[in-house]
Amino acid sequence: ANPIATFDTSMGKFDAEIFLDTMPITATNFTDLANSGFYDGLHFHRVIDKFMLQFGCPNSADPKSRASGTGGPKPGSTFEVNGKVIKRDGGNIPDELVDKTSNEPGTLSMANTGSPNTGGSQFFVNTVHNDFLDWFRPDLSESQHPVFGKVVEGMDVVMKIGKVRCDSGDNPLKPVKMISITVA
């Protein structure tokens, strides 16, 4: 069975299945960061109603940091997948474009800069079906955001976060904090 991540936020909890079976590199990168406490105390730095919630930038420890959205894991840090060591070059992991799960509501998807192999710690939770972000739909856009999990409980909390008032940069006016992420 795939692991379940519990996201304990300042607005409530939600659980997501992490797709270790189909997305081993991306899923293990996430669980490694979560288990190390990397995400604890960070804030959702980009929330767009009827689109998604973005999270995972270490610069968002300060919820009003202008650098939110630009950070990632420590460059050169490593994690192990099926006996193979994966190095985060520049803090980034290799793109894992293998599973064709669409960016449907409740899915967790890797954020990146738009260039290949630039995912790291940041991801987003889709609140609507954003199929134009699917890596396997070049007919819709050049975006390549692989899905590595899906909310299985607490989607009401996700939708509540998606409705918070934000500033012109899509940053919540009242910060939404990730107290902790635990994976079991």
Q: Which residues of 19-32 are buried (b: 16+ CB within 10 A; e: fewer)?
A: bbebbbbbbbbbbb
Cα–Cα dist 4/136, whole Å: 26
Catalytic residue among 54, 92, 103, 144: 54
133 is catalytic: yes
Catalytic residue among 19, 46, 88, 123: 46
Cα–Cα dist 26/23, whole Å: 6
When computed from its CA atoms, the radius of gyration of the chain, rounded to whole angstroms, is 15
Catalytic residue among 133, 144, 148, 171: 133
The Cβ of residue 53 has, within 10 Å, a number of other Cβ atoms equal to: 24
Structure tokens at 158: 């996700």
148 is catalytic: no
33 is catalytic: no
Catalytic residue among 2, 51, 136, 137: 51
Catalytic residue among 112, 122, 130, 171: 112
46 is catalytic: yes
Of all helices (H) and strands (E), which one includes residue 179?
strand 178-183
66 is catalytic: no
Catalytic residue among 108, 124, 148, 171: 124
Mind telling me the catalytic residues?
46, 51, 54, 112, 124, 133, 145
